[in-house]
Amino acid sequence: MTEPIPALPCYLNGEWSNIRDAKVSVLDRGFIFGDGLYEVVPAYDGRPFRFNEHMARLERSLDELRIPNPMDRAGWRGLVDQLIAAYAKHVGKKAEETNQLVYLQVSRGVAMRDHAMPKDIEPTVFAMVNRLSIYPAEERAKGATCVTADDFRWKKAHIKSTSLAGAVLSRQISADVGATETIMFRDGFLSEASSSNVWVVKDGVVLGAPRDNLVLEGIRYGLLEQLCKNANIPFQLRRVSREEVLAADEILLSSATKEVLPCTVLDGKPVGNGRPGPIYEKLFAGYQQAKLSTH
């Protein structure tokens, strides 16, 4: 049985409400076409993590979809801070006692249904917040199980679009077999997972797919590169073949909720020795250190 929707705080077009009661027009293009974008900003101890990097990606996605930015960065930061405070009040804690996940969404707005982009309509701005669940240590020690699949999504994966039918279908491939993620390949080369970036470790080198239109550049792209630099770990972005992935010493997943998570089983076979590896351990430790300087 589906649990009832909680009355968590949210913001919609200038009004504060909760996610149980907030309503969007049925003619909103985000509802009709998935014509919009989103960002998910983690907040550790009440402080947004890599906020400017999230805003830079939001701005890139807005430009790609030709949607005017409804706020400047100061406005977005104010909204995020208000949501963090509202959630803390909702759960009866101080903001610094909470880890939160702030969801921001912008759609093109409300108009009569027509595929062409209408002019002079106001974007719909929606934002909500929830608890950020941290992967428990025992799950990290075991590592994640993943499966592979062909990447059947569109070729503008670099836009963090709300048109997520492809991601839903790809994630269900792993959900159907009780796995954590679906690692995808396009024309024989690694792209990403359904809701994570994927990193391959071979002979001590961390490899990732290039920054292009076939991959959503996760906020952890720049962070992982910096963490590798700090730990003197070689880091390369290039085309990574399916054969290289299957022969990897380690495979890592990264996302706002996973942080850095080892994949220890792929398509029913162990990755490396079947346990989280030394590169993962170093990068996870570096990630935790980076969280302490959240800004």
Six token digits for residue 254: 């990264």
Of the residues 160, 229, 258, 282, only one is catalytic, namely 160
Q: Which of 71, 254, 38, 28 is nearest to 159 (CA)?
A: 38
89: annotated active-site residue:
no
Q: Which residues of 1-28 are buried (b: 16+ CB within 10 A; e: fewer)?
A: eeeeeeebbbbbeeeeeebeebeeeeeb
Contact 31, 153 (CB under 8 A): no
Question: Which of 54, 26, 37 is CA-nearest to residue 107?
Answer: 37
Are 245 and 190 in contact by the 8 Å Cβ rule? The answer is yes
Kindly state the tokens that stand for 260. Answer: 């850095």
CA dist 31 and 250 (Å) reads: 40
Question: So which residues are the catalytic ones?
Answer: 160
